Amino acid sequence: MGYREIVKVGDPVLKKTSRKVEKFDEKLARLIDDMKETMYKAEGVGLAAVQVGVLRRVVVLDCGDGFKELVNPVIIEEDGVQEEQEGCLSVPGEYGITRRPATVKVQAQDRNGKWHVYKGAGLLARCFCHEIDHLDGILFTQKVIRKD
């Protein structure tokens, strides 16, 4: 399959809650590979499955420190506050400042079902929060505190 079309704001699917992944099969591996290709082609730093129209709790991201795939991700710790600019591949041309934790710890499975713990600060922490929000039907535009 490869590249998949990115769903844009206005499509009701973006407001839906994604379901937990239970089957770690070939279909999941293909979805993750397609999301990876789509994210890099679109020059994004993160992509949630709902953004390609699949309501499963799957996220891919690369904030400049390597590719990560997160299946069923959960934020297990957060600390501090940061206010930085955010954007989204599903909301082209729109940016705004959001308030996010300065650091987060995330627990997630990979395509084989193995659990990992990731720590993120700065952009990576924002990215974890932004993408996990997508899995609960939340867009960054709902969290913008100011536009400058």
The catalytic residue positions are 131
Three-state DSSP state, 8: coil
Placement of tokens 């650091």 in the chain: 103
- 12-71 residues in contact with Zn ion (CB under 5 A) are none
CB of 56 closer than 8 Å to CB of 26? no
Which one, 16 or 27, has the nearer CB to Zn ion?
16
122 backbone dihedrals φ, ψ, rounded to 5° = 60, -130
Total residues at the site for Zn ion (CB under 5 A)?
1
Q: Closest separation between CB of residue 59 and Zn ion, Å?
A: 10
Q: Closest separation between CB of residue 90 and Zn ion, Å?
A: 5
Which one, 48 or 71, has the nearer CB to Zn ion?
48
State yes or no: residue 88 binds Zn ion (CB under 5 A).
Answer: yes
State yes or no: residue 129 binds Zn ion (CB under 5 A).
Answer: no
The CA R_g of the chain, rounded to the nearest whole Å, is 14
Range in contact with Zn ion (rule: CB under 5 A) among 12-20, 74-82, 83-91, 107-115: 83-91
C-alpha to C-alpha distance for 47 and 38, rounded to whole angstroms: 8
Nearest to 4 by CA among 29, 45, 44, 41: 41
Q: Closest separation between CB of residue 112 and Zn ion, Å?
A: 26
The residue ranges that bind Zn ion (CB under 5 A) are: 88
